[in-house]
Amino acid sequence: MLEQVVWKRIEKYGKEEIAIYAHADHDGICSSVALNYLFGDIEPEFSKSFKPKAFPEFKDKKLLNLCDLELSENQIGYLLSQGMEIINFDHHDIKEGKTQKLPLP
């Protein structure tokens, strides 16, 4: 059921509108490779830090896929305010606050 909701979100966007941002460790890299396989040839951005203080510019991107990263509530709030949708493909806790949980059908 949840995977249907995620796929509906993903299918709204063209490949050029999708960004992948991942932690540069073994699970972040593996996750980004798996997403790249699903979406096509999308060059992921990597962070050396699990909790990056800054992130790259995601110009013209509409969907951000996080892999093994913990952004702050302010960072997530900023990205949401820019009209970006965020999917957290991760095994860590998801920040609450300004984030929204996916509605189940």
Domains of the chain by residue range: 1-11+25-54+67-105
Q: What is the value of pTM for the model shown? A: 0.79
The 3-state DSSP class for residue 20 equals: strand
Q: What is the pLDDT of residues 44-94, one digit of tens each?
A: 999 999 889 888 888 899 999 998 888 888 888 888 888 999 888 776 665
Q: What is the pLDDT of residues 1-56, one digit of tens each?
A: 667 777 787 788 888 899 999 999 988 898 888 888 877 788 899 999 988 988 88
CA distances from 44 to 22, 70, 77, 97 (A): 7, 16, 21, 26
pLDDT score at 92: 64
The 3-state DSSP class for residue 103 equals: coil
- Sheet of strand 85-89: strand arrangement: 45-47, 18-23, 63-67, 85-89
